[in-house]
Amino acid sequence: MRVVVYSTRAYDEEFLARANADGRHELVFLEARLDATTAGAAAGAQAVCGFVNDRLDGAVLARLRDLGVGLVVLRCAGFNHVDLEAAARLGIAVGRVPAYSPHAIAEHTAALVLSLNRKIHRAYARVRDGNFALEGLLGFDLYGRTVGVVGTGAIGACFCRIMRGFGCQVLATDPQPSPACEALGVRYVPLAELLGASDIVSLHCPLTPQTHHLIGREALAAMKAGAMLVNTSRGAVLDTRAVIEALKRGHLGSLALDVYEEEADLFFRDLSSEVIRDDVFARLLTFPNVLVTAHQAFFTSEALAAIAATTIANLDAFAERGAPLHPVSVERLA
Ligand code: NAD
């Protein structure tokens, strides 16, 4: 099949080309993001391949259908950026990579917790500047602390296991509790109880209409004073403006983010010589107790290899049977 691959970086091309080494699919790599202005590049293709910040709304999907595209394969687990109802109406199948390496994201989350707690990001810069003072770098023992995990699917469960390894008490909330987590000693409680009892709150639920701004003013006020909040799920699960207010008041102790609700115009690009026009994001970067990575939690060689292999498997299945191996359907939004 001819497949136009949007939002391609050199690493995507390398891993996808390796997974498609026999050339059974014709992959056309584009650096551009998929949106209404770039959809036309899919002319002549049977499928497009997209990533987290590609725009797959009704208008873009209708344009793709007009061009003859029958399949969208996502190189990610999340599908919040796809209008699934429009895809179903237009007869476009959507495939994704449901679990490529939950360890990659869970381990990055743990790295954020450790770095933010022990101020490794600040210590690194200080030591290189010949400043060996410790003032301002005080952390706390993770051992014995309470960690609240919102969403214990593939990634959340992995993160629970890591935090149990540090000797933390782990509370969780999920409409579908995991017996494997319960066996680890994770205790399921309502969100309000989790927020009030946790020293660290980590978000691992998908972005859906129900979880949009799940952590807003009210939830932040319900958190323990001085607690740490970590988001490696999707940006809009957090209300960023409310988070900034909570940081300014001093109620929120610290914040680590790998995702941001307006990240599409920022992340995955080198903007180091440009002016950041997003004032909310720029404000976040001014806090000493905020640590941001640019959607890199998935970025391990194991994860990239698995993403590429599953993407090719989705294309193979569609070519053979008319449906991707891991389809996403409208029902998943319910
Ligand atoms: P998953 O589907 O295995 O698990 C999600 C869990 O969240 C499920 O158990 C579900 O029941 C639960 N959930 C749904 N609504 C909830 C709610 N309101 N409150 C609490 N829990 C709720 O997904 P996963 O593979 O663990 O991935 C989780 C999310 O992580 C993805 O949806 C994606 O947005 C994000 N992600 C981020 C990166 C990254 O690089 N930063 C990479 C992959 C995935």
Each residue of 110-148: pLDDT tens digit?
A: 999 999 999 999 999 999 999 999 999 999 999 999 999
Nearest to 151 by CA among 175, 119, 133, 127: 175
Asked about 295 being catalytic, the answer comes back as yes
Each residue of 222-259: pLDDT tens digit?
A: 999 999 999 999 999 999 999 999 999 999 999 999 99
Asked about 234 being catalytic, the answer comes back as yes
Say how many Å lie between the CA of residue 1 and the centre of ligand 1: 31
Distance from chain centroid for Cα 167: 26
Instruction: For the chain, give every residue range classified as CATH 3.40.50.720.
Output: 2-100+301-333, 102-292
Atom of ligand 1 nearest to the CA of 208: 15
User: How far is Cα 112 from Cα 279, in angstroms, rounded to an integer?
Assistant: 23
Q: Which residues line ligand 1 at a C-beta cut-off of 6 Å?
A: 77-78, 99, 102, 105, 150-156, 173-176, 204-207, 210-211, 232-234, 258-259, 295, 297-298
Dihedral angle sign, alpha carbons of residues 82, 268, 206, 212: negative
Of 55, 75, 96, 234, catalytic: 234
User: How far is Cα 67 from Cα 311, in angstroms, rounded to an integer?
Assistant: 21
Atom of ligand 1 nearest to the CA of 157: 26
CATH 3.40.50.720 is right for the domain spanning 2-100+301-333: yes
Beta strands, E only, the chain: 2-5, 26-29, 47-50, 71-74, 93-95, 146-150, 169-173, 187-188, 200-203, 228-231, 254-257, 290-292
The half-sphere exposure of 245 on its side-chain side, counting CA atoms within 13 A, is 12
Domain 102-292: top CATH class: alpha beta
Q: Give the pLDDT score at 333.
A: 56
Dihedral angle sign, alpha carbons of residues 272, 202, 296, 73: negative
- Is the full-model pTM beyond 0.85? yes
Mean pLDDT score of the chain: 96
Report percent pLDDT > 90 for the chain. 96
